Amino acid sequence: QVQLVESGGGLVQPGGSLRLSCAASGFTFSSSAMRWYRQAPGKERELVATISSSTSTNYAESVKGRFTISRDNAKNTVYLQMNSLKPEDTAVYYCNARYYIRSIAYTYWGQGTQVTVSS
């Protein structure tokens, strides 16, 4: 059974850092694209960062230069290192996996982890 389990969220002061982890199981992690999304209260869910199976990355403009997505295929884990955090980064962060089998897409979501940036 496919599972994505996020951890590492919490309360941090502006300018601080936090690292989120997403442990994956039940599928071939190394061949899957992994993404981090976030959703703040009253706002649409937005894509924060993407890492492909070949480890190429993309970031939302709002986090570029501050956040880094990475993956460890030996541990079936994707990370989001968040530096220079701002109050507007406050949201529930979700791990997402997508892979294809014979042109059919399969998408899975984690349960989310709360990140709060406040003084």
How far apart, in Å, are the Cα atoms of 69 and each of 41, 43, 84, 89, 102?
23, 23, 15, 15, 27
Burial environment of residue 8 by CB neighbours within 10 A (0 to 12, 13 to 18, 19 or more): middle
N-to-C CA span, the chain: 40
pLDDT value of position 99: 87
Q: pLDDT tens, 23-58?
A: 999 998 999 999 999 999 999 999 999 999 999 999
Q: pLDDT tens, 78-100?
A: 999 999 999 999 999 999 999 88
pLDDT value of position 100: 87
pLDDT value of position 68: 98
Give 112's pLDDT tier (boundaries 50, 70, 90).
very high
